[in-house]
């Protein structure tokens, strides 16, 4: 095995850009969610809308999630140390797991509250018209926030920011459902308001399960998809001096990837020449892919006719 510790400038720049984007977009989300939480919960209590209160609690979970993302972004930028030789990138994965568990808990709480109300339909009050305007305003704000955060997440290729953006989209969808429930309540069907709250709870629970499950798999060293592995293999094969590649293994490290690969070089080459080929292969992979580190095992490759001189000379040239 040949671990080569040098990091490329492109990787460092990408990490710095991702951290700055995470901080900037998350603070925007904090401001929006702080305003929405206070407005929705207060308006929901005053207008007697359980759906609007549930939506406000959802916004509160977003606010808490934003601070989790800020904390993870700060810690993931720490340099590698003796206890964490690959860096602290998995803070982002851990943050995604926390986000998932948070959504799961909030969703189940919403479901429980709505079911309790549905068991006593005669006690459901009629909501005030002001609740509808608050719900529509929240819907607009959340949809705009989602589009902004998702654009930033895709630009810097951050799975943690994608998770947080879709968390905002779940809020937009929930506000739409709540708005419909309020309209039904105002039209003479009071039961539609707690039904809307129950639907929001189900949506939040499902999204929390998906985020948490994906993050858990990433923490268990899940490999990247076959398309990305094929792209890394192609980069290795195209490196001068590499005659074959096999046993490529990958595991996620936050938004980055750690790769192990066996590369085949001409058996007639010196150890130094084989090492130089491995160094060049690593440089290319780190430059072209979101790879944090490539560890290579150099295997001897022999021509069927036993003629090594031509290949070795061509590689040295």
Q: What is the per-residue pLDDT across 50-73, written as a single tens digit (0 to 9) for each?
A: 888 888 887 777 777 777 767 766
What whole-number distance in Å separates Cα of residue 220 and Cα of residue 213? Answer: 11
Whether 4 is in a domain gets the answer no
Both 54 and 127 in a single domain?
yes
End-to-end alpha carbon distance in the chain = 25
Q: Which structural domain range is residue 300 located in?
A: 226-316
Instruction: Find out whether 280 and 294 touch, Cβ atoms under 8 Å.
Output: no
Both 274 and 295 in a single domain?
yes
Q: Look at residue 236 in the predicted model and tell me its pLDDT.
A: 94
Whether 2 is in a domain gets the answer no
Pairwise pLDDT comparison (275 vs 56), residue with the higher score: 275
Q: Look at residue 311 in the predicted model and tell me its pLDDT.
A: 45
Both 117 and 72 in a single domain?
yes
Both 232 and 146 in a single domain?
no
Q: What is the CATH number of the domain that holds 55?
A: 1.20.1510.10
Both 278 and 165 in a single domain?
no
Instruction: Find out whether 204 and 110 touch, Cβ atoms under 8 Å.
Output: yes
Both 62 and 178 in a single domain?
yes
Pairwise pLDDT comparison (156 vs 12), residue with the higher score: 156
Q: What is the per-residue pLDDT across 104-149, written as a single tens digit (0 to 9) for each?
A: 888 888 788 788 878 877 777 888 889 889 989 988 998 898 888 8
Q: Look at residue 10 in the predicted model and tell me its pLDDT.
A: 46
Give Cα 25 distance to the centre of its chain. 14
Give Cα 155 distance to the centre of its chain. 13
Whether 139 is in a domain gets the answer yes
Q: Look at residue 245 in the predicted model and tell me its pLDDT.
A: 92
pLDDT at 279 > cutoff 90: yes
Whether 3 is in a domain gets the answer no
- Reported pTM: 0.59
Whether 138 is in a domain gets the answer yes
User: What residue spans of the chain are helical by DSSP H?
Assistant: 9-47, 50-76, 90-118, 130-156, 159-186, 192-219, 226-237, 271-288, 309-316
Lowest mean pLDDT among 47-51, 162-166, 279-283: 162-166
Query: What order do you get walking across the sheet with 242-253 strand by strand?
Result: 242-253, 256-266, 291-301
pLDDT at 292 > cutoff 50: yes
Q: Which of 290, 237, 284 is nearest to 262 (CA)?
A: 237
The HSE-up count of residue 235 (CA atoms within 13 Å, CB side) is 23
Most confident range (mean pLDDT) of 61-70, 162-171, 265-274 is: 265-274
Q: What is the per-residue pLDDT across 184-233, written as a single tens digit (0 to 9) for each?
A: 888 888 888 888 888 878 877 887 888 788 888 777 777 888 899 999 99
What whole-number distance in Å separates Cα of residue 264 and Cα of residue 185? Answer: 70
Structural domain count of the chain: 2
The HSE-up count of residue 90 (CA atoms within 13 Å, CB side) is 17
For 179, 241, 281, the CA distances from 276, given in Å and listed in that order, are 64, 9, 9
Both 66 and 195 in a single domain?
yes
Q: Look at residue 95 in the predicted model and tell me its pLDDT.
A: 75
With cut-offs at 50, 70 and 90, classify the pLDDT of residue 6.
Answer: very low
pLDDT at 316 > cutoff 80: no
DSSP-based three-state secondary structure for 45: helix
What whole-number distance in Å separates Cα of residue 125 and Cα of residue 198? Answer: 16
Q: What is the CATH number of the domain that holds 280?
A: 3.30.70.1350
With cut-offs at 50, 70 and 90, classify the pLDDT of residue 78.
Answer: low
Domain boundary residue among 184, 219, 254?
219
């Amino acid at each position: 095995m040949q671990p080569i510790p040098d990091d490329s400038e492109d990787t460092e720049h990408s990490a710095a850009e991702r951290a700055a984007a995470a901080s900037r977009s998350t603070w925007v989300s904090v401001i929006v969610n702080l305003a929405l939480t206070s407005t929705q919960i207060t308006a929901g209590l005053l207008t007697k809308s359980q759906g609007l209160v549930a939506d406000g609690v959802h916004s509160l979970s977003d606010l808490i999630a934003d601070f989790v993302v800020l904390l993870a972004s700060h810690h993931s930028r720490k340099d590698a140390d003796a206890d964490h030789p690959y860096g602290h990138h998995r803070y982002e994965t851990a943050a995604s797991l926390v986000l998932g568990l948070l959504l799961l808990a909030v969703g189940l709480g919403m479901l429980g509250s709505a079911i309790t109300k549905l068991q006593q339909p005669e006690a459901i009050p009629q909501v005030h018209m002001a609740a509808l305007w608050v719900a529509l305003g929240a819907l607009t704000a959340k949809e705009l926030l989602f589009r902004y955060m998702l654009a930033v997440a895709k630009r810097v290729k951050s799975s943690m920011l994608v998770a947080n953006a879709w968390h905002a989209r779940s809020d937009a969808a929930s506000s739409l459902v709540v708005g419909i429930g309020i309209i039904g309540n105002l039209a003479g069907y009071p039961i539609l308001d707690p039904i809307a709250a129950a639907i929001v709870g189900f949506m939040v629970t499902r999204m929390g399960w998906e985020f948490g499950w994906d993050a858990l798999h990433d923490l268990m060293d899940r490999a990247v998809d076959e398309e990305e592995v094929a792209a890394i293999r192609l980069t290795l094969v195209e490196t001068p001096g590499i005659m074959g590649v096999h046993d490529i293994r990958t595991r996620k490290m936050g938004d980055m990837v750690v790769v192990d690969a066996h590369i085949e070089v001409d058996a007639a080459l010196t150890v130094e020449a084989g090492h130089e080929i491995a160094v060049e292969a690593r440089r290319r992979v780190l430059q072209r892919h979101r790879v944090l580190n490539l560890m290579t095992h150099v295997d001897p490759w022999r021509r069927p006719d036993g003629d090594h001189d031509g290949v070795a000379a061509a590689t040295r040239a």
